[in-house]
Every structure is written in structure tokens, then in C-alpha cells.
Structure 1
């Protein structure tokens, strides 16, 4: 079964809301073995919706339409779909009775446009709406399945989970599971990653491998397996990952929706370690990312944002002769910053960031010159030089990510 999701709503095209419904439905359909090949968004216009529906019928045998079931004049979805198939609309009595009870409870008159929500397309299986007024509906016509769902996610999601999925499973002859696993990498480009596993990509059938550059130095591989048995689909993913990890595992940091920030936090938490930061060009961005995570106070003591040279000298105690000889954008300065913030804020680890984010050179060093220092109690301090490209904002963001990446590698090896 090949599906297309049509999202109705001018607000989607204007960028006023994010289409979380399509994301949710794609994920849910994949789990029961239904391929989603197309997402389409169309405004609240009957003519354009008819055209979109005609295109979908040529290439899909499951068409799910979201939105446009409400009480206003621009809610035209079920009227348009019914007209396409010369079907009538009839009042679903259960939905109407539920609506009547609601308006009686709040002591308000039920207007005609509200009653409109209780109407469904003839021959439909009605999908009850426990969190709103308009019911959904599903029906088969000339070999294609049509499902109409309300637009608000708070109504659509529970409706699909309770009724839509059950309806579709009843239509499937061969039920299959589609399971995906996302492997996340940092510090390797998309082309280099592909090169290292090129033979696996060339030979892929089931499972499949899909590389994707996320941005700011991150790359992912999405592995997808399809099988009637969920356990077997997971085993297929395990076997494929075992082939990939020995080749590119040094750049791997997590699965699915995890982030470098969360992975470092979890490792600090597991190992009972604390960290502090000394930040020049990043301006506190390292601290911002870790404090966005609930419970970070257990591992993060604080940050010294040392944007000016005087702060590096007077607060972080970077020696004046080091500044005179090497400058504040240097290996030596980064080393002192990391070591001294560790002592000042009484933590197990200190991390420092100094460099040139732009727009112009500093101390004769080009834009994108960065030094990341990591000091650990009773260990030799490491300083990592970087040459980064991009805008000022991109350099700062990637600098922070490199800091977290170096921390991740250290903590994994510890």
C-alpha cells in the first residue's frame, strides 16, 4: 500500500504553523508497513483540492486528507471529496448527539455551522472524535482507500491511534513492519561517510541506508528494515549496524533524536563528574546548551564568559606574558583558560573556547581560527586547534559542537 498525505490549510502555505500532522502520520504508517511517497499541502480552496486529489489518485492507493472538517466556510474538505465521487453527505447521529450534549452543558445555542461538523460522506466508516467536534471518516472507492482526519493535532493523533490505524490494518493483506534507526555522526562530511560505506550503499535492498547531512558538522545514516516480524526487522538493523560501526564508529555519537549535548550530559551524570566552561568567542553558548537540559545543575557548576582580554587576565588569571607572546587566540591561552576555570569553579573538567568568529581578523589570525581546551584534574590538558568556515554565527555554533564532541570522545574512553 502506497500512501499520500494531503494537508489542507492556507495557514500551512503561509508558514503560520508547522505541519506536524504529516510527520506523525508518516511515522505511524511506516510502523505498519505502509509506504508514504508523497506529502502535499494545499490551501482552503475547493478547485485546487480537487486537482491535488486527482493527481494523488494516479499514484497512490491510500490517500489521507487532514484538515478542513471544521465549522467555518473555508472548511471544504469533505464537501469537495464528496463532490469528486458524486456522494452525498449525511448526518452522523452519534456525533450530532455528542455535540448537542456539549452545547447544552455550556448553555449555548448550537448553530448551523456547528451542526455541519456532524456530517460525513455516505458509505464512510465514521472515526469518532473524543477531543473535538468533527468526526473523521474512511472509505474505499475504486481500489483506493480515503481517510479524512481533523486538522488540530490534539484531535487527529488520538483519532488515528484509536480508530484510523485499526481501519487500515483491516485493509492490509500482508502486514509488515517498517523499522528505522538513525545513526548520528559528527566530524565527518557526508561525502567521506558515504565513501567509507559505499559498497554497503550500492548493495542495499532491505535494509536500506540513507545518508543525510544535518548541518553544523553533523551527518546521519537512516537504516530502514521491512519485515512481517518486528523482532526480525530489529535484528536486520542490528546486523547492518554491525557492518557500519567498525568503519565509521569513531565519529558516531548517538541514535535517533539524541544530540551531542544530551549525550555529554548523560556521560557526565553516569560518571559523577562536574564541568565548567571559560568562553570567549562562544559567548556562553556552551553553557546555554547544557543548561537547557533538565538536571544539568548536577554536572555543570557555571561559566565565565571572558569576551574581553581584561577578563581573561583578571578573572581567569591568564598570565600577561602569555597574552603578550602568544595572544588571546592561541593554544597557550586556551590551555590556561581551561585549567583555571576548573580551579576557580571547583569542577572535575574545565573546557575553554577562544578564537576568531569574525567579521575580521584578530591578532593576525584569520576568521575561523579556533582553539578548544579541555582540562581534567590530574591529567594532561588537551587543546584542539580548528579552522572553521562559514558565517560568524555558524563558526560559533560549530565551535560549541566541536567542544561537546571532544568531551564525548574523552568521556567514552574514560
Structure 2
């Protein structure tokens, strides 16, 4: 079963709002075993909407329209659909009663145009709006199924889950198998490198399927299958997960859709381990990333943004001869990264100390290139490790990539340590 999402609204084309509904609906439909092959955006024009519907129904079994159900003259989605399938609109009594109560309860006079929000398509099923006024619709015409939803996400989401999904299950998906997926998360490896490592599995995939998605510092692998039950699906997905993990065990940090910082916070909090950080070029982004996770107060003792040599020396005791002088390695060096990690750990009396120092740009520093970064990881009672990294991108990208690289190295160290 194939679906297309058609978002109606000139404001979307002008970039005034972001079409988050398409992402939400694609996920929901995929979970029902419905493949979304196209997403379309069209402005508030009846003829263009009808042209879009003509194309959409030639390539999809289910068309989900969003937006254009309000009271104004440019809210014409239902008008366009009714014209396209050759039917009429009528006032839905329940929706009209809901609108009347809304204005009565607030002691306001209802303007005539608000009645448009109660319009329903003849021969279809009205979809009540539990959080707004505009009624939705579900209708089948010549084998194509149309779902009409409001644009505001706070109205669209509950209407889809409470009204549209049951309608689809009852009238459309009588023989469809649901789609089940697992998200596998990877760090310390790029999308192309991971694709290469998994190439044999990907090239021979039939069921389950494998898909890669990249974001800064992380890669997600979605494995999916259709099955009569969740138990049967998980059996197939778990088998594939084991195969994938055996190929890249040093990079797969989770089998659910969570960021690496959450895995780190949960692991350290559970084991009673503590952490501190000394940051130069990332400017506090490491600590910001960790503190965005609930429960980080149990493991993160604190840190220092030591942006200047003066602060590195005064607050974290980095020797002056490492920072400045003709023979000094300089602030951007493995020597300074090592001292920063060790000193911040000792100053805060934490189990682990992190450090990052580098050149984020836009210009060179200490005659060293943009993108050169050193990260340090100190652990109580063990030798400190330092890694030299080279990143490309703008200032913000380098900061993010350095942060994620440091967290990846911390995760590698944590998973190598056995709980006491």
C-alpha cells in the first residue's frame, strides 16, 4: 500500500513555517506498513491543488492532505478535493455544535466564516477535532483513499491517531502486514565508511531491509520488516542486529534511537562514576551536551571553559612553558590536552577528566590549521590517552564534531571498564 502526503499552504512554500507534519505522518504511516513514496507541497489555489491530486492519485493508494481547513477564504482544501472527486460539501452537525459551544462558552459572537470549519465531504466520514474547530475527513473515491487533516500539529496529531488511523485500519488495511523497525546507533564512523563496512549485508538485503541516515557525529541504521506480529518481527530484526554488530562492534553504541550522550550519562550514573571537563575550542559544548540529558547531575561534577592561555594556567595549572615561548608546543597540542584532562580530573576529584583544545576557525591559530583538534581522556589510576583529530567544515561544525568525537572516545573507554 502506497501513500503520498500533500501539504497545502502557501506559507510552506514561502518558508514561513516548517513542514514538521510530513515527518510525523511518514513515521506513523510507516509504522502501519504503508510506504510513503512522495511528499508534496502546494499553495492555496484550487486549480493547483486539483492538479496535484490528479498526479498523486496516479501513484498512490492513500493521499493524506494537511492544512487549509480553517475559516478564511484561502482555506480551500476540502473545496478542492470535493471538486476533484465530483461531489459536494455539507455542514457536519456535530462539528457545527462544537463550534457553537466554543464561541458561547467564551461569550463571543461567531462570524459567518467559521461555519467553513464544519464543512464535510458528501459520502465521506467526518473526523472529529478534539483540540480545535476544523473537522477532518476520510473518503474513498474510485479506489483511492483520501484523509484530510488540519495543519496545526496539536490538532493534526491527535486527529490522526484517534480518528484517521482507526479508519484506515477498518476500511483500507484489512490485509496489510504492519511494519516493525529498530534503530541502531553508531558513532566514531562516517556514513560512507559504515556503508562500506556493511556493503555485503546491504547488497543482499531483501527482508529485513537496511537504511542509513547520517547526522553530525552519528549515524543511524534503521532495520525494518513486515510481519504478522511483533514477536515474529523482532526475531528477524534481532538476528540482523547481531550480524551488524559483529561487523562494527567498536562503533555501535545503542540499539534504540538515543544520542551517545544519553548512553554515557545513564551508564555513568548507574555505576556511580563521575566526570569533569576542560574545554577550549568547544566553548562549553561538551558540558552543554551532557547536561541536556536528564540525570546528568548524578555524574557530571562540573568543568571549566579555558579559552585563553591565562585561564588554562591560572585555573587548571597548565605549565606556562607548554603554552608560550619559542619552544612551547602551544595551547593546541597533545601535551596541553593531556595536562588539561589530568588536571581537571584532579581539581574536581572526578573519576574521569575530559579535555578538548583546537582550532575551530575561521582563521589559523599558533600557525596551526583550522580543524586541528586534540582531545584528552584521563581516568583515575590509568594512563591518559590523547587523540589528534582533523575536521573539515565551518566553526560550528568543527565544535560539534569535536564534541561528538570526544564523547565517542569516552564511550569506548567506559565500555572497556568493568563495573566494580
Would you say same fold, with TM above 0.5? yes
Contact 2:265 2:295 in 1 (8 A): no
Distance (whole Å) between structure 1 residues aligned to residue 301 and residue 99 of structure 2: 55
**Cα 1:115–1:361, aligned 2, differ >3 Å: closer, same or farther?**
closer
How far does residue 295 in structure 1 lie from its aligned partner after superposition?
Answer: 3.0
Corresponding residue number in structure 1 for 2:185: 184
Contact 1:177 1:233 in 2 (8 A): no
Moved more, 179-188 or 239-248: 179-188
Distance (whole Å) between structure 2 residues aligned to residue 388 and residue 128 of structure 1: 52
**Cα 1:102–1:217, aligned 2, differ >3 Å: closer, same or farther?**
closer
Q: State the Cα deviation string for residues 278-335 of structure 1 (Å, max 9, x = none).
A: 1111111111111222332221122211111121112111122333432222211111
How far does residue 360 in structure 1 lie from its aligned partner after superposition?
Answer: 3.4
Contact 1:281 1:357 in 2 (8 A): yes
SS, match of residue 15 in structure 1:
coil
Q: State the Cα deviation string for residues 40-61 of structure 1 (Å, max 9, x = none).
A: 1111111211111111011011
Contact 1:7 1:66 in 2 (8 A): yes
Contact 1:267 1:412 in 2 (8 A): no
Confirm or deny that 1:213 pairs with 2:214: yes
Q: State the Cα deviation string for residues 344-373 of structure 1 (Å, max 9, x = none).
A: 122221111112223333334332222111
Corresponding residue number in structure 2 for 1:304: 304
Corresponding residue number in structure 2 for 1:57: 57
Corresponding residue number in structure 2 for 1:268: 268
Moved more, 9-18 or 50-59: 9-18
How far does residue 408 in structure 1 lie from its aligned partner after superposition?
Answer: 0.8
SS, match of residue 385 in structure 1:
strand
Moved more, 39-48 or 360-369: 360-369
Corresponding residue number in structure 2 for 1:198: 199
Q: State the Cα deviation string for residues 85-115 of structure 1 (Å, max 9, x = none).
A: 2211111111112222222222222221111
How far does residue 65 in structure 1 lie from its aligned partner after superposition?
Answer: 0.7
Distance (whole Å) between structure 2 residues aligned to residue 304 and residue 108 of structure 1: 56
Moved more, 229-238 or 322-331: 322-331
The within-5 A match list for 1:2-401 is: 2-170=2-170, 171-214=172-215, 216-323=216-323, 324=325, 325-401=328-404
How far does residue 39 in structure 1 lie from its aligned partner after superposition?
Answer: 0.9
TM-score (norm. length: structure 2):
0.94
SS, match of residue 70 in structure 2:
coil
Q: What root-mean-square deviation, in Å, do the aligned CA atoms of Structure 1 and Structure 2 show?
A: 1.6
**Cα 1:217–1:132, aligned 2, differ >3 Å: closer, same or farther?**
closer
Distance (whole Å) between structure 1 residues aligned to residue 162 and residue 322 of structure 2: 67
Contact 2:7 2:42 in 1 (8 A): yes
Distance (whole Å) between structure 1 residues aligned to residue 332 and residue 154 of structure 2: 51
Match of 1:406 among 381, 384, 409: 409
Distance (whole Å) between structure 1 residues aligned to residue 366 and residue 109 of structure 2: 74
Moved more, 220-229 or 238-247: 220-229
How far does residue 272 in structure 1 lie from its aligned partner after superposition?
Answer: 0.9
TM-score (norm. length: structure 1):
0.96
How far does residue 200 in structure 1 lie from its aligned partner after superposition?
Answer: 1.1
Contact 1:372 1:403 in 2 (8 A): yes
Distance (whole Å) between structure 1 residues aligned to residue 120 and residue 366 of structure 2: 72
Distance (whole Å) between structure 2 residues aligned to residue 227 and residue 352 of structure 1: 47
Contact 1:91 1:119 in 2 (8 A): yes
Stretches of structure 1 lacking an aligned partner (at least 5 in a row): none
How far does residue 228 in structure 1 lie from its aligned partner after superposition?
Answer: 2.0
Moved more, 307-316 or 141-150: 307-316
How far does residue 175 in structure 1 lie from its aligned partner after superposition?
Answer: 2.8
Contact 2:117 2:134 in 1 (8 A): yes
Contact 1:187 1:217 in 2 (8 A): yes
Contact 2:68 2:74 in 1 (8 A): yes
SS, match of residue 59 in structure 1:
coil
Distance (whole Å) between structure 2 residues aligned to residue 359 and residue 176 of structure 1: 52
